[in-house]
Structure 1
C-alpha cells in the first residue's frame, strides 16, 4: 500500500473528518465526509459558493484532522483548487443527492488536493508515521 493510500484508508475509516481554514485572522473548522483518491491525490470537494471555498482561495494553508478509532491523522499543506470535471463527476456518482441539489440550484462543486503536504499518523503520545507529498 502506498503512503497516500494509507492516508486515504484512515479517512475512509473515520468517515467524518475536520477541515480547518482561516477566515481573516480567525480559525474556522467544519466537518467533511467527501474525499476521493484519484490519480494518486486525495481530492476534497466543497461548494464554490460557500465561505470555506472563499477562505481557501484567500489563504490556501489548511489542515485536515481525523480519528479512525485507532489513530489520529493530521494532514496539512496548501490547498490546490482545481477545475477537474472527472473528480466532480465521480463525486456526483458517489453522492447523487448532492448532485441533485447542486444542479437544481445552479451550484458548482469545487475540488482541491493538498500539495507541499505532510500527513502524520499519530497515537495519543507520538507520531507513528509521517509522509510528505509534493506534486
Structure 2
C-alpha cells in the first residue's frame, strides 16, 4: 500500500473528518465526508459558492484532522483548487443526491487536493508515521 493510500484508508474508516481553513485571521473548522483518491492524490469536494472555497482561494493553508478509533490523522498543506471534472463526476456518481441539489440550484462543485503536504498518523503521545506529498 502506498503512503497516500494509507492516508486515504484512514479517511475511508471515519464517518466524518474535519477541514480547517483560515478565515481572515481566525481559524474555521467544518466537518466533511467526501474525498476521492484520484491519480495518487486525495481530492476533496466543496461548492465554489461556499465560504470554505473562498477561504481556500484567499489563503490555501489547510488541514484535515480525523480519528479512526485507533489513530489520529493530521494532513496539512496548501490547497490546490483545480476543478477536476473527472473527480466531480466521481463525486456525483457516489452522491447522486448532491448532484441533484447542485444541478437544481445551478451550483458548481469545486475540487482541491493538498500539495506541499504532510500527513502524520499519530497515537495520543507521538507520531507513528509521517509522509510528505509534493506534486
Gaps of at least 5 residues in structure 2 are: none
Report the equivalent of 1:86: 86
Could you say what secondary structure the match of 1:14 adopts? Answer: coil
Looking at structure 1, the residues matched to 94 and 70 of structure 2 have their Cα atoms a distance apart, in angstroms, of 26
Number of residue equivalences? 135
Compute the TM-score of the two structures, normalised by the length of structure 1: 0.99
Could you say what secondary structure the match of 1:124 adopts? Answer: coil
Could you say what secondary structure the match of 2:13 adopts? Answer: helix
1:23-62 paired onto structure 2 within 5 Å: 23-62=23-62
Gaps of at least 5 residues in structure 1 are: none
Report the alpha carbon displacement of residue 90 of structure 1 after superposing the two structures with TM.
0.3
**Alignment deviations for residues 64-116 of structure 1 (CA, whole Å, 9 cap, x no partner):** 00000100000000000002110000000000000000000000000000000
Report the alpha carbon displacement of residue 14 of structure 1 after superposing the two structures with TM.
1.2
Report the equivalent of 1:13: 13
Compute the TM-score of the two structures, normalised by the length of structure 2: 0.99
Could you say what secondary structure the match of 2:8 adopts? Answer: helix
Could you say what secondary structure the match of 2:22 adopts? Answer: strand
Pairwise CA RMSD: 0.4
